[in-house]
Structure 1
């Protein structure tokens, strides 16, 4: 009897805590369209503008932040923050920051900010450096494939692909 009572009390407490919003139950993002963590941080905190200006992955800082498409981006400087906010579509990663190779196959995979390429003025991220190398060997064709898939999978949860 005591075990059942403890179980019921625990269950009730869990229900109360989640209903009050003390435990996040869903990331607030445009329905799976952007690859973010539970705090809505994109690109694992890396500065999207630095891929263009420095051609290198650069950690951002939370004091230089901007929101775009439901995601929070961090920047390494106020200058990069301003560049992004004036032209977010120019600097935001393609496919909502999901792995470009994965999208070319109809899937959404997480990324490693170190596995990147800027192609024709657009930022592409990949799962890891091994996948990046595979993607790089045929990137133009894979970009065409990914563009075709993205419109169909953009708003689909990755768990359903």
Structure 2
């Protein structure tokens, strides 16, 4: 019995010290995660009600960057970069920056940094305004579906598709 308890304790300790597996981050032609938008800044933006457009995201700067999940994230200022570095999993978008509704349907498509919503303290992105309408019809249900689908597609290659009707530009200098 002692051997079993020791083995269980060792397995639990090992599991807690191993990094969580993350799939490839969506990166567009800017070369930055979330198209160079500051993922910390979303927390300070006023969030619109369901059915209303969200405010545009805040562009990051090439002066303030951090690496996470194999990608470079850009930030508007040093304070936001430092907040991110202290807890990147909290600030990074769900599903490695891919569209939340797309993941709920079992695939990886790009996430648009201006089509965002924070739900249960997590940042979700979607690809087009029409997709946002479908996602918002049942946000909890779509998150449940995405959470179920994600383990099966997380390791798949990141989307290389462009974001429709989105003009990406590198973060400001």
TM-score, scaled relative to structure 1: 0.75
- What is the rounded CA distance, in whole Å, between the counterparts of 1:99 and 1:42 in structure 2? 13
Pair member with larger Rg: 1
- Any stretches of 5+ residues in structure 2 without a counterpart? 1-20, 47-54, 160-173
- Any stretches of 5+ residues in structure 1 without a counterpart? 1-29
TM-superposed deviation, 1:39: 6.5
84 and 31 in structure 1: CA distance in 2 versus 1, 3 angstrom threshold: closer
Q: CA RMSD in A?
A: 1.9
Q: Looking at both structures, which has the greater relative contact order when contacts are Cα pairs under 8 Å and sequence separation is at least 6?
A: 2
Count of matched residue positions in the alignment of Structure 1 and Structure 2: 130
Contact residue 98 and residue 108 of structure 2 kept, 8 A = yes
TM-score, scaled relative to structure 2: 0.70
1:24-103 residue pairs with structure 2 within 5 A? 33-37=24-28, 40-55=31-46, 56=55, 57-103=57-103
Contact residue 114 and residue 128 of structure 1 kept, 8 A = no
Counting helix residues as a fraction of each chain, which structure ranks higher?
A: 1
- What is the rounded CA distance, in whole Å, between the counterparts of 2:96 and 2:112 in structure 1? 14
User: Residue in 2 aligned with 1:153?
Assistant: 153
- What is the rounded CA distance, in whole Å, between the counterparts of 1:31 and 1:87 in structure 2? 15
